[in-house]
Amino acid sequence: MVAGAEIVITRTVTMEEGVRLESGAVLKPITVAYETYGAPNARRDNVILVCHALSGGAHAAGWHPGASKPGWWDDMIGPGKAFDTRRYCVVSSNVLGSCYGTTGPSWLAPEAGVPYGARFPVVTIGDMVTVQAALLDRLGIGTLLAVAGGSMGGMQALQWAVSCPGRVRSVVALATTPRHSAQQIAFDEVARRAVMGDPAWRGGDYYGRATPDAGLAVARMLGHITYLSDRGMARKFGRAREAGGAPAYSLDREFQVERYLDHQASSFVRRFDANSLIYLTKAMDYCDLAAGHASLADALAPCRAAFLLLSFSSDWLYPPAQLEEVAEAVRAARTGGEPEVAHHVIASDHGHDAFLLEHREQAPIISRFLANVVQ
């Protein structure tokens, strides 16, 4: 870690009353892991909720003691950064179903006394928002200045506008979609089948035993391809071989891109719970902001928040057209005089990962947008 870096810790809050899920099931108790950066002002109207993507957690910024790298959006959150902690109080929590401190399938099921495994109830993006709202209640925070996130985090940000339209003054959604398409569902289903087809998965009851590493690795390798762009991969790896020179004519990993995927997958397998991958991809597949409404415009109509939508030219997992649909739906419900609705398509070769990498491009846009919301 770097000298002078901000040390942060993850806190938890347990809600004995639990939460009623979209499915009708009640999950209780629940524990939520969260971090905060910066401080609320006297009116408590400077709070920004940041929502993480599939593999993220509450640790969005700063450094944990002894860590070798900072939180997942440290480029964006901190003093003088896009989410400027000298002005704003940023709250970040781990989503329901994940494996970084918030209740998920690896937790002991009360009464049963064994981990939930596949008996954990299916959760939705809406359920994640319900839990985040309950956390903010506990923290004494009413209306948010902004809710922000990319990918699955962007789905949560958009869901806030539908679920709690009066509680958000602005929505910042990056590299995301108002609903999972057939192709997006299909990629997730391949990932789930890779995990569930691994004999070590054992119907989800692998805790305390060998974990389904081979299946989870395949799922993550596939994920990584969808996070990068064709052109970005060509530029970064091309057809380069690890050893250089002549073909090995073997079945082993040989091309640099193969070793990259293997490395990424090995690292993920060590840090992520396979059941959480199943539950979080399922939550994304259920994502459809317009469900239960006449249209997407109808779903978003009650929300008078400012919207900043950022997509990336080479993101083929969540193509810019999906966020343009959100922009059009929000605009369709407005009559003039409401806050800004902007959709920027940022030119990038970084594919879906761009929202984690293109901070130089996106930071000034977000910074200006938030300043306008404050005014």
User: Residue 177's closest CA among 168, 166, 188?
Assistant: 188
Could you give phi then psi for residue 15, rounded to 5 degrees? -115, 105
Q: Please report the beta strands in 55-158, taking only residues with DSSP state E, as ranges in sequence order.
A: 77-78, 83-84, 89-93, 146-150
- CA–chain centroid gap for 161, Å, is 16
- Site residues for its own copies, 101-140, by CB under 8 A, read 118, 121-122
**Other CB atoms within 10 Å distance of the CB of residue 372:** 14
Site for its own copies in 310-329 (CB under 8 A): 316, 319
Asked if 315 is an active-site residue, the reply is yes
d(CA 173, CA 156): 9
Candidate residues 33, 77, 155, 257; the one interacting with its own copies per rule CB under 8 A: 257
Q: Which of 75, 315, 349, 353 is labelled catalytic?
A: 315
Task: By CB under 8 A, name the one of 230, 243, 267, 302 that touches its own copies.
Answer: 230
Assess 272 for contact with its own copies (CB under 8 A): no
Strand-pair category, 30-37 with 11-15: antiparallel
- CA dihedral 137→300→180→103, nearest 10 degrees, is 10
- 276 catalytically annotated: no
CB of 308 to its own copies, least distance (A): 25
170 among known catalytic residues: no
Of the listed 93, 98, 151, 311, which one is catalytic?
Answer: 151
Regarding 278 and contact with its own copies (CB under 8 A), the answer is yes
Under the criterion CB under 8 A, does residue 258 sit at the interface with its own copies? Answer: yes
Strand-pair partners of 48: 90, 146
Binding site for its own copies (CB under 8 A): 21-23, 25, 118, 121-122, 179-183, 185-187, 189-190, 192-194, 196-199, 214-215, 217-218, 221-222, 224-225, 228, 230, 233-234, 236-239, 247, 249-251, 253, 255, 257-258, 261, 278, 282, 285-286, 288, 316, 319
List residues with catalytic annotation: 151, 315, 352
